[in-house]
Structure 1
Amino acid sequence: MKRFQGYTMAHFQKDLISGFIVGVIALPLGMAFAIASGVNPEYGIYTTIVAGILISLFGGSKYQIGGPTGAFIPILLGIVLTYGYENLLVAGFLSGIMLVLFGVLRLGSLIKFIPRPVTIGFTAGIAVIIFAGQIPNFLGLNVRKHEAFIDNMKEIWTHLHDVNIYSVIIASIGLVVLLLAPKVAPKIPSPLLSLVVSSLFSFFLLENKVATIGSVYGEIPNTLPHVSVPHFTLEHIYEMIRPAFVIAMLGAIESLLSAVVADGMTGEKHHSNRELIGQGIANIVTPFFGGIPATGAIARTATNIKSGATSPLSGIIHGLVVLAILLVFSPYASHIPLASMAPILMIVAWNMSERKEFIHVLKMKSADSIVLVITFVLTIFVNLTIAVEVGLILAVLLFVKRMTDVFQVFKVLPDEQKKKVSPRMVEQGRDCPQISIYTIDGPLFFGVAQMFEQSIMSTINHTPRVLILRMSKVPYMDQTGEANLASLVEHFQSKGGIIFVSGIQQQPKEMLKRCGLYDKIGEENFFEHTGEALKTAFLHINQTQCVGCKHFAFSECRQLCHIQAEQAVNHFKTEYVGGNK
């Protein structure tokens, strides 16, 4: 494999160290994300092991670290509460198939073009949901989890009188350690240090006074995950298609964003479609081990690079480290207080909130600000599925509106002083009745196609002999644009007119050829430059009409008018004077 070309023992040592560090960080995060998603903590560990190894083996980035992430929490919790854990496995499996298809169909580059206001909106919304979801654990409240954000807030409000002061103390200790650790002990992963310090404090001083993983979820098994086949039925598959699609889209966005961050840190370039296939394989296999959906984790990937990783082997080692810790230390993990997990997830939510970008887009007070707010609000108060769908639809509609606004069709005539055509040269009393020239500026697609045809028809009060369409500024044409152009061509040709096209780009030209319009216009009527089209146009006009014309739209007009006048005089002399009529 090219990724291991020139690999040496020195590289292995670096991968070993970075894999160990990231593995130690990934363990508490895997448990925390699983708990926040409404499933047992061991399923988060299984995901970290299985998905982490497979993503490193089959992905398109040398440094990507995969596993459960905070971005999935709202959608996974919603699935668990609505459909149950078994159906979550079905959704994860289906999302894996979709991700593989995304990669096979080479959609990797397209997914990266999802509008930024949409991604910022749902990411910030997810951050709010994660942060708010940890308030009960921080305060030690025994509340029911609901899918709706409002219901969860009401639940917290009605149980505020039951605050467990001991949980608040443990969570506060963990939060202080999280904030101070990067400054005091930068080489030790702050989530791990926070978890250890707050857990030891709870175990020795506040035993049985705060809820722990063991008291709520039972003992974490110190065995390898058992392989079992999720319960697939056509009904379950149909129910899970939409949630699975959102998981796949979110996973694709997160993983490719993480890979781009890795590229920026290392100067290398990932393979986006291979990355999607690797993510898909991981999500297909992980449900058979009871794992939840996984994707590329930006923070862990960045830590992997900063720790000296040189190849995907560091990601494989990270999974094996988590497996080793599971087999040896899992009994101790049962004593971790849920209050110790709360500040870790709150900091994760704060870091992923993209607050600076959110405020920046809001300050612009543009259409993007509206898309951002709507996506953000729907993510929090409805669900992520609807938020992404509505956000994308709004973004598409706004894009069409913007393209419509910038699309222009204007009638032009040559400006002899500036040696180019200009719309300002078209004036009343200065417009050729036989040759009309139009410049089309912008993509000719469904949003502007009808306006294109109407713009030309409404500004022509007669049918000219020759219509020249300048299309050098049309980068793209779709089927609707072609259909409207075909209608225009048919109308002019039925009136005996001729259409010339100049400067057409490759994509529109191919579209016209596929649809047969290229041959209908005639290959001889396509020109590289407008000047060539104009010279040919003078060969098709009725030059006798130029006699007495005072428009003088073109430089050739005076000469044509003079020639035709002389010919008319000579004809008169020949027929009437010389012939004695």
Structure 2
Amino acid sequence: MTARTARRPAFAELFTPKLVTVLGEGYRAAHLRADAVAGLTVAIVALPLSMAIAIASGVSPDRGLYAAIVGGFLVSALGGSRFQIGGPAGAFIVLVAATVAQHGVDGLILATFLSGLILIAVGLMRLGTYIKYIPYPVTVGFTAGIAVIILTSQFKDLLGLTLTGPEPGPTVPKVEALVAALPSLNAVAASIAAGVIALVALLRRFRPHWPGFLIAVALAAVAAALLHLPVETIGTRFGGIPQSLPSPALPDLSPARIAALLPAALSFALLGGIESLLSAVVADSMTGRRHRSNCELVAQGVANLGSALFGGICVTGTIARTATNVRSGAHGPVAGMLHSLFLLAFILLAAPLASYIPLAALAGVLAVVAWNMAEKHEFAILLRASRGDALVLLVTFLLVVFRDLTEGILAGFALGTLLFLHRMAQSVEVETGLPLIAEDRADRDGTDGFDPALAGDASVAVYRISGAFFFGAAGTVGAALDRIGEHPRAHVIDLSAVPLADSSAAASIAGFAKRAQRQGAPVYISGARPAVRHLLFVHGARPPLVRYRPVLEDAVAEARAALAGDAPRPDDAGDG
């Protein structure tokens, strides 16, 4: 191994939980106090959100709490981020609701369990690094699409509507059913929802450090209980929430059931991996720390296994709660673990009080969440940035809203990839008539310009290819090489500004060299990097068909000397 070869990180470096790192640094009473305060603050935020997300997902509120308690504890204890808070997330509402509608709650638990196994496998295979390649317009588009779906799914409870049948899942039929049910509007429920939204907005404006969600929901619950308001509550719809965790149990792992739920599990794993790593990146940007992405994915996988065993829904890193944790002064992962224990204490001691919470209040909470999720400013910027980015954004957004979340992500990713390849292909240039001046030795970085008029000898054609030379640009480069009007007696191709090449590029150079050989014109290649030259050799561009020289001026000098008939016998093995 040379000194410049990158050392492959050891397993322990990649998968040691941040909890071990923090405790190894020395954990004192002051750190515990800071983590306890932050954990309590996050628990106050997570309590209404976990129940609201579960209800919007088509399951009972206790399943959201189980996910936050069990999954949240495991994410913090085993994760690769100091400040990550795990739990149910609004981004999963669409997928979870669709899975429950198609396969029932048991199917949801199995899909959550399988997604945990998938995330563990992805992390152990060290694939977490590649999730960052999801194009930014795709993440903004699907986040905005999810926000629209969450908002439309809450209108029934926001307005206290009574539907004549089950609420449709797809957006257009859902909106049609809601419009048809408008005559059943419950003014009291609508007033509670509006009051919650207004109070949360006011508290964020004037008292941003107060727990606005909890205050608004608690006041709504007190009003509903004392005034006997005619609105639906957690108690009337679900009978309250249990006062203990259920016993762990494995889901049905029969092959047929696994095959049926595997597509949903893959969707859960994909979205969970993206959300958790985005959340970890947000925490890093706020603190200057660095998370371990593959360790984080393994922890998310274990957390989903644990949540499924206790009957909870999907778990992922939650950006809002993680940011709250950081702003509350957390020192490390203990804060996230304590947040889960505080939620467990609520179930054990105060679960009966949840029965009085109006569903309209929780719908108001989710309406605020959806509004904040939409990333409206980023959406507007991408629409103006370029036509390509706008297309990727809109396709992702519209498919998520009107078709399917997975289809939206895949289509957006495919379009984004094609857009990237097109831009990369456009960046590759073929320059001819490179001047033969002393500065050519410094030209190998590809930064100097050139003046074709300075080319001194028309019998030797000089080309410089610059940029990533890959299949998207191979056709363009090949056409440029073939468009030479006259037939030079020798060709020199400078590859010093080509950082990488693929098989298509190598094949195009080899094909050009063979055509030049038939015309009796030798081909010299200068400045090729070792990896590029190896690929050219593999595809047949090797001596004596092609002669390699380290710098451009050497190749041109030798070509001219060869044409003059006084060149020394070339070393066809090439230099370097």
* Structure 1 and Structure 2 fold alike (TM over 0.5): yes
Kept after mapping to 2: 8 A contact 1:225/1:290: yes
Instruction: Tell me the C-alpha RMSD between the 2 structures.
Output: 2.4
Match of residue 457 from structure 1: 482
Match of residue 572 from structure 2: none
Deviation at 1:418, TM superposition (A): 8.2
Match of residue 221 from structure 1: 242
Within 2, Cα distance between the matches of 1:166 and 1:304? 35
2:142 to 108, 119, 122: 122
Match of residue 232 from structure 1: 253
Match of residue 246 from structure 1: 267
Cα offsets for 1:510-547 (capped at 9, x unmatched): 5446x3647x24799333321121222234325499xx
Distance 1:417 1:528, change over 3 A: closer
Distance 1:426 1:242, change over 3 A: farther
Within 1, Cα distance between the matches of 2:107 and 2:501? 43
Within 1, Cα distance between the matches of 2:412 and 2:81? 29
Distance 1:529 1:187, change over 3 A: same
1:425 to 453, 474, 478: 453
Distance 1:491 1:87, change over 3 A: farther
Match of residue 570 from structure 2: none
Of structures 1 and 2, the larger Rg is shown by 1
Cα offsets for 1:8-52 (capped at 9, x unmatched): 111011111111121122111111111111111111000001110
Deviation at 1:258, TM superposition (A): 1.2
Residue identity in the other structure for 1:260? V
Moved more, 380-389 or 70-79: 70-79
Match of residue 540 from structure 1: 562
Within 2, Cα distance between the matches of 1:388 and 1:165? 38
Kept after mapping to 2: 8 A contact 1:499/1:525: yes
For residues 42-57 of structure 1, what are the structure 2 equivalents within 5 Å?
42-57=62-77
1:175 to 168, 186, 197: 197
Within 2, Cα distance between the matches of 1:50 and 1:32? 18
2:210 to 188, 196, 218: 188
Kept after mapping to 2: 8 A contact 1:146/1:152: yes
* Structure 1 runs (4+) greater than 6 angstroms displaced: 417-421
Residue identity in the other structure for 1:213? I
Cα offsets for 1:318-340 (capped at 9, x unmatched): 11111111111112212211011
Residue identity in the other structure for 1:278? A
Match of residue 327 from structure 1: 348
For residues 59-458 of structure 1, what are the structure 2 equivalents within 5 Å?
59-143=79-163, 144-183=166-205, 185-207=207-229, 209-414=230-435, 422=450, 424-425=452-453, 432-433=458-459, 435-458=460-483
Match of residue 506 from structure 2: 482
Residue identity in the other structure for 1:225? P
Within 2, Cα distance between the matches of 1:319 and 1:521? 67
Kept after mapping to 2: 8 A contact 1:413/1:423: yes
Moved more, 273-282 or 64-73: 273-282
Q: Secondary structure at the match of 1:270?
A: coil
Moved more, 403-412 or 325-334: 403-412
Match of residue 2 from structure 1: 21
Within 1, Cα distance between the matches of 2:545 and 2:515? 19
Match of residue 568 from structure 1: none
Within 2, Cα distance between the matches of 1:96 and 1:460? 62
Q: Secondary structure at the match of 1:447?
A: helix
Deviation at 1:485, TM superposition (A): 2.6
Within 1, Cα distance between the matches of 2:260 and 2:458? 65
Q: Secondary structure at the match of 2:523?
A: strand
Within 2, Cα distance between the matches of 1:18 and 1:498? 72
Within 2, Cα distance between the matches of 1:173 and 1:499? 78
Within 2, Cα distance between the matches of 1:123 and 1:542? 67
Q: Secondary structure at the match of 1:444?
A: coil
Cα offsets for 1:324-374 (capped at 9, x unmatched): 111111122122110110111011111111000101111235211111111
Within 2, Cα distance between the matches of 1:523 and 1:544? 20
Distance 1:94 1:431, change over 3 A: farther
Deviation at 1:415, TM superposition (A): 5.8
Distance 1:86 1:493, change over 3 A: farther
1:40 to 60, 68, 83: 60
Match of residue 9 from structure 2: none
Residue identity in the other structure for 1:65? I
Distance 1:533 1:374, change over 3 A: same
Within 2, Cα distance between the matches of 1:522 and 1:113? 41
Within 2, Cα distance between the matches of 1:296 and 1:224? 22
Deviation at 1:298, TM superposition (A): 0.9
Within 2, Cα distance between the matches of 1:195 and 1:516? 68
Within 2, Cα distance between the matches of 1:292 and 1:273? 22
Kept after mapping to 2: 8 A contact 1:411/1:426: no
Moved more, 162-171 or 357-366: 357-366
What's the TM-score, normalizing by structure 1?
0.87
Moved more, 444-453 or 236-245: 236-245
Deviation at 1:384, TM superposition (A): 0.5
Within 2, Cα distance between the matches of 1:102 and 1:191? 35
Q: Give unpaired runs (5+ residues) of structure 1.
A: 546-581
Match of residue 574 from structure 2: none
Deviation at 1:211, TM superposition (A): 0.7
Kept after mapping to 2: 8 A contact 1:166/1:206: no
Q: Secondary structure at the match of 1:84?
A: helix
What's the TM-score, normalizing by structure 2?
0.88
Taking every aligned residue pair, what percent have the same amino acid on both sides? 38
**Aligned residues between the structures:** 538
Deviation at 1:246, TM superposition (A): 2.6
Kept after mapping to 1: 8 A contact 2:426/2:473: no
